[in-house]
Structure 1
Amino acid sequence: MGEVKLFRTWSSPYALRIVWALKLKGIEYETIYEDLSHKSSLLLEYNPVHKKVPVLLHNGTPICESLVILEYIDEKWNTTARFLPEDPLARATARFWAKFNDEQVAPSIFRAYVSQGVKQKKAVGPALENLDIVEKQLIGKRFFNGESFVFLDLVFGWIAKYLGIFEETGGIKILEEERFPLIIAWKDKFCDILVIKENWPDQKELVTKFKLMREYFISVAASCN
């Protein structure tokens, strides 16, 4: 197996994907927590391009970006249940939806979260439209691949906890049951998985963290106007 280290912050949903993946694969690893306001020299050395977490260090070699790390873990430790399907088309499709989450769904929701007033109301629209697309991917399914928990569940897993945090601290309601019954049903099943349940960050600490983050982004936006 070799030495495995994970550079992360306690609150990052992107790093949390890697925690879940490592736990599901039964891989022992060392966690190195980073303070992103004072990034360590090791983090800057191992991820000189983006300078952010997560970074997986395997036998001294860094792997960066959470989606890339997930695929690396799945391919490197391939004797246990696989996250990605074997079929090339199914794998390509999974990668497409993973990029859709990271490039469109999550950013659109975050934009609504760190806005207020008229700007927030305007930003909520695209976020809901993106979630409409996600909702359709769950038609007739328990998880994103059908009956089994896989790669895309790890990718979209942040929705199960962080979307509620955004709603609580951002004064917005996004995940309405009438509009998103399949996402809500998936969320409940996802949160019942033991590895997921045991590795969420503390709820109260997350609320405090993201409340302060939202206040910071709003103050920066106000100072730029």
Structure 2
Amino acid sequence: MGEENKVTLHGQLFSPYVKRVELALKVKGILFEYVEEDLNNKSPLLLKHNPVHKKVPVLVHNGKPVIESLVILEYIDETWKNGPRLLPEDPYERSKVRFWSAYIQQVMECTVKIFTAEEQEKACEEFYEKLGVLEDGMKDMFPGGIEGGNIGLLDILILVAFGAYKAQEEVFGVKLLDPEKTPLIHSWVNTLLELPLVNETVPPHETVVSFVRFFKQRITNAQSQ
């Protein structure tokens, strides 16, 4: 890879925001170097490339840093026009994808509240309400249903938001995706998880379970202080 075309991704193994970018790069077939960052001991390069937020992901292309996962995803799609497009060409269709991308982010934040909030029941109610809205919205976006094919922006976001749902349900004992209540999202996520490209990118189930247990223990320790 020539230095003028070098692509580097600064990330952290279990960051969902980093995983978004990693998937997008692989969907596009872009060769990249991955640099694992320790956010407790941030590297000089990370601080140089992202002096404002000092966090991952950071994509460095031709020596120029791009930050914030959704911004990076659009940059990737606009820079490398070969291969499958992450967003539709039509401006109106793109606007709809952008809208639901932001909404998936809200649902994802509600998921985190379920695991971290002391009032878990209230957090679950908010999550299920937003998930129901997302289910209805995706029925309008994909009236013919979800099929395993080219992976677009919404596929990446929904996969990263819910790809670890089985491990999360196992550790926290909370039902996240119900095939009867949200059949489209449940089917969508599991269809994506079976794709070879996703299989080689997503950590094994037991590895994810171990991390979620570690995450749960950290929450328990913090709440008991």
Could you state the TM-score of these two structures normalised by the residue count of structure 2?
A: 0.90
**C-alpha separation in 1, matches of 2:133 and 2:165:** 16
Give the equivalent residue in structure 1 for 2:222. Answer: 220
SS at 2:13's partner residue? coil
- Take 1:203 and 1:66, find their aligned partners in 2: how far apart are those partners? 24
Residue 169 of structure 2 aligns with which residue?
167
- CA deviation profile, 1:74-125 (whole Å, cap 9, x unmatched): 01000222111111111111111111122x1011111101245xx1112101
| Aligned with 2:85 (options 78, 82, 86) | 82
Q: 2:76 aligns with which of 73, 78, 83?
A: 73
Counterpart for residue 10 of structure 2: 7
Q: Which runs of 5+ in 1 are unaligned?
A: none
* Cα shift at 1:218: 3.1
1:128 is matched by which residue type in structure 2?
Y
Question: Is the alpha carbon distance of 1:141 and 1:186 closer, same or farther for their aligned partners in structure 2, counting shifts above 3 Å?
Answer: farther
- Taking the aligned partners of 2:156 and 2:133, their CA distance within structure 1 comes to 18
Alignment of 1:1-225 (within 5 A): 2-102=5-105, 104-115=106-117, 119-139=119-139, 140-143=143-146, 149-223=151-225
Q: What's the CA shift for 1:148? A: 5.0
Identity of aligned residues (%): 37
Q: Say whether the 8 Å CA contact 1:47–1:55 is kept in structure 2.
A: yes
Shift of 1:160: 4.0
CA distance in 2, matches of 1:184, 1:111: 20
Pairwise CA distance, 1:49: 1.5
| Deviation of the 1:188 alpha carbon | 2.1
Given that residues 87 and 97 in structure 2 are in contact (C-alpha distance below 8 angstroms), is that contact kept between their aligned partners in structure 1?
yes
Displacement of 1:16 after TM fit?
1.0
- Does structure 1 conserve the Cα–Cα contact (< 8 Å) formed by 2:77 and 2:86? yes
Would you identify which runs of 4 or more consecutive aligned residues in structure 1 move more than 4 Å?
none
Question: Per-residue CA shift, 1:108-167, capped at 9, x if unaligned?
Answer: 111101245xx11121010111111121133234349x9753111111112442222221
Equivalent residue of 1:137, what SS?
helix
Report the alpha carbon displacement of residue 193 of structure 1 after superposing the two structures with TM: 2.0
For the aligned residue pairs, the C-alpha RMSD in angstroms reads 1.9
Q: Give the Cα–Cα distance (whole angstroms) in 1 for the partners of residues 136 and 43 of structure 2.
A: 42
Aligned length: 219
From the superposition, tell whether residues 22 and 59 of structure 1 become closer, same or farther in structure 2 (CA, over 3 Å).
same
Aligned 8 A contact 2:104 2:157 in 1: yes
Output the CA distance in 2 between the equivalents of 1:160 and 1:190: 11
